[in-house]
Structure 1
């Protein structure tokens, strides 16, 4: 993202109030996690939000293009306040390279899941409405693409692995025809929903969303079955 002067965020009273509410909720849910600084910038048009330890950066030009009206822009800000903040809490999974597509879906899905808890809104509701009735078929496709995008298969056919990955993630503006973008986020969120529902200790389940290391173990523990009852 290009280096520009930050936007004066104080101009939006609603945004400040939303940020305070979301940060209070995140602090209550995860009191040991330091809340990050937020920088709102004009960037290169390639990222709505990115995050690292202690900070998140929001790309104003992308947020405005996605939701150009005032109400939509405020919804986007709430979503990014929650989602990107969760990314600042997450550690890098040690074994993500064993199943990179699943790992990326779990990383993004956990950020969406926790963001939904603290904002009270479904991330990308249009995407969720499209995906929900197709859940079983999407899960079958995703499971097949996990193998195609895996490390061994990727060595044999890097182009096929790339296509499998970009069917689900990293495809803003280039999703498959008729699909919303980043459906893998929704899949990851559904896996974590199943994981959370099965957990006796809900707070421990939330901590697991930040500290997991083995994507296949998370999937096994979640017992997620594409919307069907787990065996």
Structure 2
């Protein structure tokens, strides 16, 4: 709790950046709470919800608690700006679609805070990029998310939640290729056609995706 004033100060700058990047951006409140020991961050009708009991122990993310909360909240604001229809639990989803939902939130976090939330995956995946990418493409249309998302942090040898990392890399490639960055970001946030975004990104067509 003692780092929250510092986090709040950092967020003011991040929010100004988000407003420039996406004129449609909204800024509901952030609620810091002790939850059910199952989520460090999520969104709800009231805005961003941070589960303090999970966030405080998530040392595999940024080691400094101030940085960790800052980048985590930035990630959740990526979700805030996404099309609300993406939250429909009854909508059919695939590994590609859900990975792009999380990966776009990671991209937003990087654009406004300077770093993705799940920064540990950048080092944990070193030396395994080609194998991970091949597995992802094979599973992209699958409705079974268990091998890619919400399966726990894992270990450096067997990292979990790899869909966050692959989805971010696809979203980043799509954004980087676009001439109109605002339009590209809004396309990612609306996510009308995940396969079009994958094709438009050029990801997976060169060395290491």
| TM-score interval for Structure 1 and Structure 2 normalised by the shorter chain | 0.7 to 0.9
The answer as to whether partners of 2:130 and 2:208 remain within 8 angstroms in 1 is: no
Question: 1:157 is matched with which residue?
Answer: none
Q: Distance in 2 between matches of 1:183 and 1:229?
A: 15
CA 1:229–1:57: 2 relative to 1, 3 Å = closer
Question: 1:166 is matched with which residue?
Answer: 146
The answer as to whether partners of 1:35 and 1:54 remain within 8 angstroms in 2 is: no
1:80 is the counterpart of 2:72: yes
Q: Normalised by the size of structure 2, how large is the TM-score?
A: 0.86
What is the alpha-carbon root mean square deviation over aligned residues?
A: 2.7
Structure 2: give runs of 5+ residues left out of the alignment.
Answer: none
Count of residue correspondences: 205
Question: 1:120 is matched with which residue?
Answer: 114
Q: Which runs of 4+ in 1 moved over 6 A?
A: none
Question: 2:102 is matched with which residue?
Answer: 108
Q: Distance in 1 between matches of 2:67 and 2:201?
A: 29
Structure 1: give runs of 5+ residues left out of the alignment.
Answer: 1-8, 151-160
CA 1:229–1:128: 2 relative to 1, 3 Å = closer
CA 1:225–1:130: 2 relative to 1, 3 Å = same
Q: Distance in 1 between matches of 2:208 and 2:157?
A: 28
SS at match of 1:181: coil
The answer as to whether partners of 2:43 and 2:79 remain within 8 angstroms in 1 is: yes
* Structure index of larger Rg: 1
Moved more, 199-208 or 120-129: 120-129
Q: Distance in 2 between matches of 1:84 and 1:218?
A: 21
Q: Normalised by the size of structure 1, how large is the TM-score?
A: 0.79
Q: Distance in 2 between matches of 1:42 and 1:204?
A: 37
Choose between structure 1 and 2: higher helix proportion.
Answer: 1
